[in-house]
């Protein structure tokens, strides 16, 4: 996934692309119904007709095979290559699909559906400049069709060109005010700017125009997921699921609905539903190159189990909460093998005595991340860290509420001694993720907003911000006169064993929901999370149940950092005085 689990995924904003699948399938059926003038074309049409039939039945493997037969029967048939591209794309073979789209386009550059579908494939592969060009061509060829303007605006939005995207949408809506697709897309642009209430108005207009518009129901639910009420968000997701006919949309909405359940604290339904993330059709699914079945809750005593980290580093740490359970359950006659980020191995080795540790290797297959574990042999079961939650964390009482990582004792004492030279409460701080862009920055309060916290008397602030934090630390010194203590020689990004030890040496950690916060919580240090709005790892509480001691500070309105920072400062002043 890449992003930390504490960030709600962009299910709503990313899923607004519209292809020309339906119109192409109808056109392909019409073509095959006509009487061909050659034997080659007759054979091609026969295979193409079977391919379309299989595609409509969601049998994409057979659809691809029959499309290949059609191309072999008549290599000049553009529709056969187009059908093959659609089938390959639905099988996840996006790179191969691009090649087939290009062959189809070379055979028939007047086919407007091709520009739309090829642009959509390029967009999914993050080739936004290519997608933009193709959608602009489509818009020139079909200026009265909303799909082209919709997709073009979506690409501009994902490229953080928000003003251009809004202007494009408004212009298209002015000419086509009855098109719900455009109102929906305008809503997704505003969501990216955290204007959730305004976005909701546009989603509701889209639904007024088309009450059966499943994606708009999903997107309205996504907005409500940020602002509440969560029961209304859940109802929107349910409505979307009842209406959608698209398999991919069903998977995405099921995933969003699972996160909503978790946000409400309904872990009994949420964690099992969250397993949808492993469906290969899910846009962020990860492939695991391991020859073993996924564990589904079977007895583990005496078994060899490979647990493998998933998603971003913060998620991997947070989900590791369940690893001690697995180690205990395999018993003395079994074996727990753990594949994790290489930077975590010293911590895990110390925390899970008796487990076999190693790292995974990350590569890519088409658009999917592929994690390989060559050293693990053939275990009885493989279990992504988060999958164990669906079997061992089905109530809030099932979270043990204790540290599950053991920092290096000597390093903890070394850092504690260094910090003892400084006065007052020792508070570790981390204010942002390393992965900051226009879409993600709203989830983090810039260091410029920390003035009230830095003004707290009786506190020494300790840097836990990984990456190049020096310019921001200097800015804090310039703006507020705050001297943030940095441990010389400690690489907070790559030496996670050292970062964990430093966190353990602090009295308190105040952090954005990042890997630094997860490490601090995992070693048992109290953590105050600063979030832009309630996040699903809270599991419906005012803290993170994953850790021994934590508290969440969120603004009343999403992203209103001036609201939350004074409250954190007041709590810190009381803590320092005590």
Per-residue pLDDT tens digits for 51-100: 999 999 889 999 999 999 999 999 999 999 999 999 998 888 888 999 99
Answer whether the bond into residue 229 is a cis peptide, omega within 30°.
Answer: yes
Rounded-to-integer distance, Cα 449 and Cα 456, Å: 14
Residue 185: strand, helix, or coil? helix
Report pLDDT for 87. 93
Place of tokens 């191969």: 96
Report pLDDT for 91. 87
Report pLDDT for 12. 43
Sign, CA dihedral 343-348-351-353, equals negative
Report pLDDT for 16. 63
- Quick check: 321 pLDDT over 70? yes
Rounded-to-integer distance, Cα 494 and Cα 448, Å: 26
Report pLDDT for 7. 42
| CB distance 108 to 117 below 8 Å | no
Q: What is the pTM of this model?
A: 0.88
CATH of the domain spanning 409-577: 3.40.50.2000
Report pLDDT for 439. 56
- Quick check: 11 pLDDT over 80? no
Report pLDDT for 34. 80
Across 212-238, average pLDDT: 95
Report pLDDT for 578. 85
Following CA atoms 486, 489, 493, 495 in sequence, which dihedral angle do they give, to the nearest 10 degrees?
A: -120
Report pLDDT for 552. 97
Per-residue pLDDT tens digits for 435-479: 655 555 667 778 899 999 999 999 999 999 999 999 999 999 999
Sequence-separated (6 or more) residues with CB below 8 Å from residue 78: 104, 105, 107, 108, 111, 114
CATH superfamily of 11-205: Tetratricopeptide repeat domain (1.25.40.10)
Report pLDDT for 95. 86
Per-residue pLDDT tens digits for 247-297: 889 999 999 999 999 999 999 999 999 999 999 888 888 989 898 999 999
- Quick check: 418 pLDDT over 90? yes
Report pLDDT for 289. 86
Across 166-170, average pLDDT: 96
Per-residue pLDDT tens digits for 547-567: 999 999 999 888 889 999 999
3-state helix, strand, coil split of the chain in percent (to 5) is: 55, 10, 35
Per-residue pLDDT tens digits for 489-535: 999 999 999 999 999 999 999 999 999 999 999 999 999 999 999 99
H-assigned helices in 108-213: 112-124, 128-141, 146-158, 162-175, 180-192, 196-209
Report pLDDT for 434. 59
Report pLDDT for 31. 84
| CB distance 531 to 552 below 8 Å | yes
- Both tokens of 443, joined, read 């989830």
Report pLDDT for 192. 87
Lowest mean pLDDT among 53-57, 230-234, 330-334, 445-449: 445-449
57-61: long-range pairs with CB below 8 Å, 24+: 58/90, 58/247, 60/87, 60/90, 60/91, 61/87, 61/91
Per-residue pLDDT tens digits for 293-306: 999 999 999 999 99
Report pLDDT for 441. 62
Place of tokens 């359970």: 325
Report pLDDT for 5. 39
Report pLDDT for 1. 29
């Amino acid at each position: 996934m890449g992003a930390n689990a504490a960030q709600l995924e962009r299910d709503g904003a990313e899923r607004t692309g519209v292809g020309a699948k339906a119109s192409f399938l109808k056109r392909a059926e019409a073509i095959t119904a006509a009487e061909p003038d050659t034997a080659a074309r007759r054979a091609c049409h026969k295979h193409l007709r079977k391919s379309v039939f299989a595609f409509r039945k969601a049998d994409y493997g057979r659809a691809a095979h029959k499309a290949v037969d059609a191309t072999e029967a008549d290599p000049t048939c553009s529709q056969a290559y187009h059908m093959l591209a659609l089938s390959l794309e639905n099988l996840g073979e996006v790179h191969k699909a691009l090649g087939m789209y290009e062959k189809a386009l070379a055979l028939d550059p007047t086919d407007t559906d091709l520009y739309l579908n090829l642009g959509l494939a390029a967009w999914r592969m993050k080739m936004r400049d290519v997608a933009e060009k193709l959608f602009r061509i489509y818009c020139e060829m079909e200026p009265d069709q909303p799909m082209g303007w919709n997709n073009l605006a979506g690409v501009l939005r994902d490229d953080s060109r928000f003003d251009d995207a809004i202007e494009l949408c408004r212009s298209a809506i002015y000419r086509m005010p009855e098109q719900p697709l455009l109102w929906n897309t305008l809503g997704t642009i505003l969501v990216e700017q955290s204007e959730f209430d305004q976005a909701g108005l546009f989603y509701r207009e889209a639904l007024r125009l088309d009450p059966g518009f499943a994606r708009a129901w999903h997107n309205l639910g996504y907005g409500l997921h940020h602002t509440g009420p969560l029961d209304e968000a859940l109802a929107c997701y349910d409505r979307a699921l009842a209406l959608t006919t698209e398999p991919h949309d069903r998977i995405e909405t099921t995933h969003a609905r699972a996160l909503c359940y978790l946000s409400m604290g309904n872990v009994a339904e949420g964690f099992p539903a969250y397993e949808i993330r492993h469906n290969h059709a899910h846009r962020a699914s990860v492939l695991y190159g391991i020859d073993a079945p996924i564990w589904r809750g079977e007895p583990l005593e005496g078994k060899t189990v490979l647990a493998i980290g998933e998603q971003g580093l913060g998620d991997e740490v947070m989900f590791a909460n369940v690893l001690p359970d697995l180690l205990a359950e395999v018993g003395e006659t079994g074996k727990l093998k753990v594949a994790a980020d290489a930077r975590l191995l010293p911590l895990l080795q110390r925390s899970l005595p008796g487990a076999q540790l190693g790292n995974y290797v990350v590569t890519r297959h088409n658009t999917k991340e592929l994690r390989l574990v060559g050293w693990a042999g053939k275990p009885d079961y493989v279990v992504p860290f988060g999958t164990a939650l669906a079997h061992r964390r089905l109530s809030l009482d099932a979270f043990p509420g204790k540290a599950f990582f053991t920092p290096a004792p000597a390093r903890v004492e070394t850092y504690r001694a260094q910090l003892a030279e400084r006065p007052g409460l020792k508070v570790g701080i981390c204010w942002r993720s390393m992965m900051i862009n226009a879409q993600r920055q709203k989830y983090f309060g810039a260091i410029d907003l920390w003035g009230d916290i830095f003004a707290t008397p009786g506190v020494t602030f300790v840097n836990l911000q990984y990456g190049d934090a020096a310019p921001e630390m200097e800015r804090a010194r310039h703006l507020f006169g705050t001297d943030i203590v940095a441990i010389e020689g400690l690489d907070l990004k790559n030496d996670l064993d050292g970062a964990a030890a430093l966190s353990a040496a602090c009295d308190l950690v105040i952090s954005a929901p990042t890997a630094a916060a997860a490490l601090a919580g995992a070693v048992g240090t109290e953590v105050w999370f600063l979030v832009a709005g309630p996040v699903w790892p809270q599991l419906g509480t005012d803290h993170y149940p994953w850790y021994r001691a934590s508290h969440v500070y969120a603004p009343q309105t999403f992203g209103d950092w001036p609201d939350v920072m004074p409250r954190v400062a007041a709590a810190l002043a009381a803590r320092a005085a005590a």
